[in-house]
Amino acid sequence: MAVTTPHNIYLIGPRASGKTSLGRLLAERLGRPFLDLDEVFRELRGETIAALVEREGWERFREIERDILAETAKTPGRVVATGGGAVLLPENRKVLARGVVVYLQADPERLAERLLADFKPDQRPNLTDLELAEEIKATLAEREPLYLAAAHVSLPEAPLEVLAERAEKALAML
């Protein structure tokens, strides 16, 4: 399943782990189209994730996210940044498994710093009623086993250029 195959490359990981930034760079380097599922949601729905979650709840958002991922998977050859919780639904994990999955690992404290530095409540609504650092730790504890199980490649946190190089090398070996 090398980079030259038409499979989609899915980037997974927690909020603020760098999925969109790496996705754009990796897509450019590989000569593939890039897609961010959160952006697709906003374009299709004409509203923010936060607005939908406030009105209809996280479960409804996950259903819509599932449908967007399934539709996205029909067109191969792209680099796709998923939402942080995309791995929560078993049907999403099945879709991801049909592509190449790259997990971006990140330190919880670093994630909190990034979220606070680039505060976007409409784009990244709170997942719980916990304080941000505690929410990140709790969310990672729940999701890390799912990220690891879904991943073909796991990349520890590093500067963006280093991540892109590591991703390219890892993908070439698959």
CA-to-CA dists, residue 106 to 53, 91, 136, 144, 174, angstroms: 25, 25, 11, 11, 23
Q: Is 137 annotated as a binding residue?
A: no
| pLDDT at site 53 | 92
Angle at 34 between CA 105 and CA 166, to 5 degrees: 40
Query: Under 8 Å CB-to-CB from 115, ≥6 apart: which residues?
Result: 15, 16, 124, 132, 136
pLDDT at 141: 92
> Is 84 among the annotated ligand-binding positions?
yes
Does the annotation place 82 within a ligand binding site?
no
Q: For residue 18, say whether it is annotated as part of any ligand binding site.
A: yes
Q: Which of 155, 161, 172, 130 minimizes the C-alpha distance to 11?
A: 155
Residue 62 labeled ligand binder: yes
4 is an annotated ligand-binding site residue: no
* SS3 state of residue 121: coil
Q: What domains can be seen in the chain, in order of their start residue? A: 9-169 (3.40.50.300)
- Single out the residue of 106, 95, 121 nearest to residue 159, CA to CA: 106
The whole-number pLDDT of residue 2 equals 45
d(CA 45, CA 120): 18
Tell me the pLDDT of the chain (174 aa) as tens digits. Answer: 444 558 999 999 999 999 999 999 999 999 999 999 999 999 999 999 989 999 999 999 999 999 999 999 999 999 999 999 999 999 999 999 999 999 999 999 888 888 888 766 555 566 677 788 888 999 999 999 999 999 999 999 999 999 999 999 999 988
Residue-level pLDDT at 1:
43
Q: What is the pTM of this model?
A: 0.91
